[in-house]
Amino acid sequence: MFNKLKNELDSIMARDPAARSRLEVYFLYSGFRAVRSYRKANWFFRHNMKFIARMISQHARHKTGIEIHPGATIGNGLFIDHGMGVVIGETAEIGDNCTIYQGVTLGGTGKDQGKRHPTLGDNVLVGSGAKVLGPFRVGNNARIAAGAVVLTEVPDNATAVGVPARVVRLNGEKIESAPSNSLDQIHYTDPVAEELSSLDKRLCELRSAFEDFENGAGI
């Protein structure tokens, strides 16, 4: 148990440049406190003491601003940075060494039964304000950009951006220009903006061709 606690502290120290000591993380980091409370609540949930489990999770929610349903499945080394407004649903599954920033929702769409929430693989990063909604998988080493709304499966080693989210990088190959910094949440191309730009360019070409036609030059 001590080794597991130490490993979680070490994983946060390795990923957060603002962390000065393990003592600071243990006592002052809301994300760490929320995950520790979740692990207690999850024990009661799995032993069919669901009222106590929810009581623990709701207490943690009021203290940290992070709501993790005690029925969720969370692997080792989860780092919730800042964390205010994070919501993790009952059937969500999170792999090892994932990073989640503030305002993230791992939620459902309201139309699914049974498994309603997403599954994150190992080493997944979910940027600030991103919403991952539905019972699909986000693959290992995937990155979700800040503010993205993910409604469909994301492959392993992919980067998803936009509303709704689209994959802009896969297996190290840039589908559209995207950065290589694994903790960068914002410096991604916007696929919607690029599509609108492409349409605007084509419209200008058509307008120019039409004007040439009107002037007798032909198309």
The dihedral built from the CA positions of residue 44, 46, 51 and 57, taken in this order, carries a sign that is: positive
pLDDT higher than 80, residue 7: yes
Who wins on pLDDT, 187 or 89?
Answer: 89
Distance of CA 215 to the CA centre of its chain: 54
Q: Which among 129, 123, 124, 92 is positioned nearest to 107, based on CA atoms?
A: 92
What residues contact 97, with CB distance under 8 A and at least 6 apart? 11, 75, 76, 77, 78, 79, 122, 123
pLDDT higher than 80, residue 203: yes
Instruction: Decide: 180 and 172 in contact? Cβ < 8 Å.
Output: no
Instruction: Decide: 141 and 123 in contact? Cβ < 8 Å.
Output: yes
Sheet architecture: strand order including 173-174: 79-80, 99-100, 125-126, 143-144, 158-161, 166-170, 173-174
Instruction: Decide: 71 and 48 in contact? Cβ < 8 Å.
Output: no
pLDDT higher than 80, residue 51: yes
Q: Say what the pLDDT of residue 180 is.
A: 42
Domain-wise residue ranges, the chain: 2-187, 189-219
Tokens of 157: 């080693």
Query: For 126-135, how does the pLDDT look when each residue is reduced to its tens digit (9 = 90+)?
Result: 999 999 999 9
Mean pLDDT of 47-62: 97
Where does the pLDDT of residue 111 fall: very low under 50, low under 70, confident under 90, or very high at 90 and above?
Answer: confident
- Separation CA 63–CA 67 (nearest Å): 10
Where does the pLDDT of residue 178 fall: very low under 50, low under 70, confident under 90, or very high at 90 and above?
Answer: very low
Q: Among the residues of the chain, which ranges form H helices?
A: 2-15, 22-28, 30-46, 50-64, 191-214
**Among the four given CATH numbers 3.40.50.720, 3.40.50.20, 2.160.10.10, 2.30.110.10, the one describing domain 2-187:** 2.160.10.10
Rg (the chain; Cα; Å): 22
pLDDT higher than 50, residue 162: yes
